[in-house]
Structure formats: structure tokens, C-alpha cells
Amino acid sequence: MGLVYQRQKEPFLAEKQFKSALRSDASFTRGRTYYAAYLYEQGRFKEAVEQFEKASGDVSYEGRAQVFSNIGLIRLRLGDIDQSIKAYEKSLTLRHEQPNAVLALSSLYFEKRELVKADKLYGAFWEAVRRGGASHSPASLALGIKIAREKKDLNEEASLMLLLKNMFPNSAEYKTMKGSS
């Protein structure tokens, strides 16, 4: 019922139902992840990450890789880059085929100036796009351009810049990348 109330924009009732379900069965991992997602949606990031971290302890939960990916996202939102990296790495250890987690981790490594790791992960994301398992966004192409610039790979930079221009000509990322070339 918590999900129903959440969809109906009844936050008080939704939270009451989520808490009731977890009181009835504290080992109900799927319910805990729903509650964590609800908390995230409410902007209650610290509480959300606590619930996801509890859920991550259930090693038999089939959605555990996604739980760690969510932890990575929230840890980044809270400004904890190292814990975000750790969570994304665990997520990818559990399930490799997660283009969004691969891209997020590539971006984090780029921010930490770990270019080799950032480039390797960006290559894995690019391969997922090539196979049709992911799509480029303005942010993904901008990251590729930044990595290419750091590698001083003018051909790759130009190719990615052209893709960004053709696919997302009105994006903030295109304007930023165009202005910084």
C-alpha cells in the first residue's frame, strides 16, 4: 500500500505503510528498497542511504546490484565521492551490464583525476551504446570529450564534439564544450 499512496501523492500515508510493512517483517528487502526510494524522492537522502545500506546486507536479494548503484548515487549527492565510488564498484562487481553505473563511475574517476580508470570505463559505456544497451546523453558525450582532451586525442575529441553537436545542439553541455575548445 505504501507504493499506492506514494503514487497518489499521499506522503504521510505512504510512509506509515512502509514503516508498518517493515515492522511486520524487517527482512522484507524489496519493501525496504521501496521505502528507501520513497525517502530519496522526498529529499531525505541520509535516511534513504541508511535504508539502502540495510538492504545491501541481504546477499540473497536479486536486486542487490541496483541497491549498491542507488547507494552510489546518494553518496555522490551527499558529497561522499569515495563511498560513492566504492558503492558503484560493488554494484558493477555484482552485475557488469549497468551502463549508467559504468558512466557514473567513469565520471567520478575523471573528477578524481584517475584518467586511465575513467577512460577504460568510458570505453565500456561506449561499447554498451554501440551494442544498443545504452544511449548517449549530453552528459555522456561531454564526459567523453573531457577525457579525450586530457588524453590529447584530437580525433576522438572532434568525433565526440560532432556527435554532441548533431544529437544535442541546444544542450548546455554542447554550449559549454564548444566554448571551452
For the whole model, what pTM was predicted? 0.90
Q: Which three cell numbers stand for residue 79?
A: 558529497
Q: What residues contact 34, with CB distance under 8 A and at least 6 apart? A: 2, 3, 18
Q: What's the rounded mean pLDDT across residues 141-154?
A: 98
| E-state strands within the chain | none
Confidence of residue 49 (pLDDT cuts 50, 70, 90): very high
Q: Which three cell numbers stand for residue 7?
A: 503514487
Could you give all domains of the chain from N- to C-terminal order, each with its CATH number?
Answer: 1-95 (1.25.40.10), 97-181 (1.25.40.10)
Contact 157, 122 (CB under 8 A): no
How big is the chain by its Cα radius of gyration, in Å? 19
